[in-house]
Amino acid sequence: MNKGIVGCALGAVLLATAAGLSPASAEGALAVGMTASVTKDGVAFGTAINYKSEEEARKAALDYCHKFKGAPKAVAQCKLVGTFKDKCYAISMDPKAGTPGAGWSIAVEKADAEKRAVANCKATAGSDRRQFCVVQESKCDGGKDSGAKDSDTKDSGAKDSGTKNSGGNN
């Protein structure tokens, strides 16, 4: 499941680069798929940054979520959870398979998105797994940050209003 998240996000970035999109495009979106049982069915993510339009970013994020490997029941539940422009997203998970911890967030600053994603993961992880929630992926669109975090062994947003939504801030 973890390699799939990195693959989906990396694919979005590579496609945007191949299409010649510039950071000035700066439209992004995040899609998440999850069932009532994250421990049993996992979580699917799809991300898109630096697209020309919000519509293209939405479509790409949903497409990547639907292509996510390793969590077919979660994939069937993929929904757009947020769009953003010139912001950052972060995805945090407990890296152990079969655990419920998962969170995401979108914020103006990458550090804020990461902090909120970890807090949202901890809120869903259960008391015995909270300490294992880590940022799996974080990136910014619009050229805000060239130092995106993609963990080699771990995986990985929504408008910055601070409203909780099943593991994420919208």
pLDDT in tens, 120-139: 999 999 999 999 999 999 99
Q: Are 104 and 91 in contact (CB under 8 A)?
A: yes
pLDDT at 12: 37
In a domain, 147, yes or no: yes
Helix (H, G, I), strand (E, B), or coil: what is residue 101? coil
Cβ-count burial 87-112 (b if 16+ within 10 Å, e if not): bbbbbbbbbeeebbbbbbbbbeebeb
Residues in the chain with pLDDT values less than 70: 1-25, 144-170
In a domain, 167, yes or no: no
What is the rounded distance in angstroms from the CA atom of residue 170 to the CA atom of residue 151? 24
Question: How many CA atoms lie less than 13 Å away from 151 in the CB half-sphere?
Answer: 17
In a domain, 49, yes or no: yes
* Segment holding 156, helix H or strand E: none
CA 156, 34, 138 angle in degrees (round to 5)?
15
In a domain, 51, yes or no: yes
* Segment holding 1, helix H or strand E: none
Residue 77 belongs to domain spanning: 2-161
In a domain, 14, yes or no: yes
Number of separate domains in the chain: 1
pLDDT at 153: 22
In a domain, 137, yes or no: yes
In a domain, 140, yes or no: yes
| pTM given for the model | 0.72
In a domain, 169, yes or no: no
pLDDT at 24: 52
pLDDT at 145: 58
